[in-house]
Amino acid sequence: MIAIIDYQMGNLRSVQKAFERVGHAAAITADPQVLERADHIVLPGVGAFADAIAEIRRRELVEPILGAINSGKPFLGICLGLQMLFDVGYEDGVHEGLGVIPGEVRRFDVPAEYKVPHMGWNHVAQRRPAPIFKGIDDNAHFYFVHSYYVVPKDEGVIAGEASYPNPFCAAIWRDNLFATQFHPEKSQGVGLQMLKNFAEL
C-alpha cells in the first residue's frame, strides 16, 4: 500500500488520483501506524517551508517520516516534500528542516526577465539513472511551481537538473529515497510514468 502523508499542506487528492490512474491504490493518512504498515511513502507539499515543517512537528510526523526512510522502504518527496528533507530553509527567516539530506533551500536569485516563482514546464536532464526515470527520455519536460530550490552539500545525490536560467537540483536519489522539485502528478504522461515506476519499486 502507498501512503500519502497528510499534514494539510499539499495537493493530496491529485497525487492520490495520479497513482490510481496508473493502477495503484494510495491512502491519504497522518496515522503513524498506517505509515508503518505501508510499503511506499509519499511526502507531498505545496506552500511555505516554515508552515509545513511546523505542521509536521505539531502532528508528530517527524519520527514516522525518518523511520520510513531508515527502514529502506521506497520514499518519494514532491516539491516542498523535497525541500523539507534538507537541513535548513531560508523562507521568511531560518528554519530547520528534517536533516535527512545535508544542504539548504535557497530562494531563486535570477535576472529581472525571469519571474519568481518559477512556474511551468521545464526540461530535466538526468544526471544519474535513477529507477524513477525508467522509460522516461532524458530532458523530458516536467511541471514546476516554486520560488526556492535545494542545494545538496553532496552533489552525488542529484539525479536530475533543470535550469532557470542557471542549473539547479530538480531531483535527488539516495538508496530508497527519491524526491523531485517538480510535480509528477501535474506532469501528464511522463509524470504518471514516474509515479508508476515508484509504485513498482
Asked if 169 is an active-site residue, the reply is no
Q: Do 176 and 72 meet the contact criterion of CB atoms below 8 Å apart?
A: yes
**Active site (annotated) includes residue 185:** yes
Contact 161, 127 (CB under 8 A): yes
CA angle 27, 178, 147 (to 5 degrees): 95
SS3 193: helix
Half-sphere exposure of 120 (CA within 13 A, CB side): 6
CA 21, chain centre distance (Å)? 19
CB 154 within 8 A of CB 195: no
The dihedral built from the CA positions of residue 184, 85, 38 and 73, taken in this order, carries a sign that is positive
Among the listed residues 40, 104, 183, 200, the single catalytic one is 183
> Catalytic residue at 91?
no
Is residue 78 a contact partner of residue 194, using CB atoms and an 8 Å limit? no
Among 91, 104, 161, 185, the one annotated catalytic: 185
Among candidate residues 79, 91, 118, 146, the one labeled active-site is: 79
Catalogue the active-site residues. Answer: 79, 183, 185
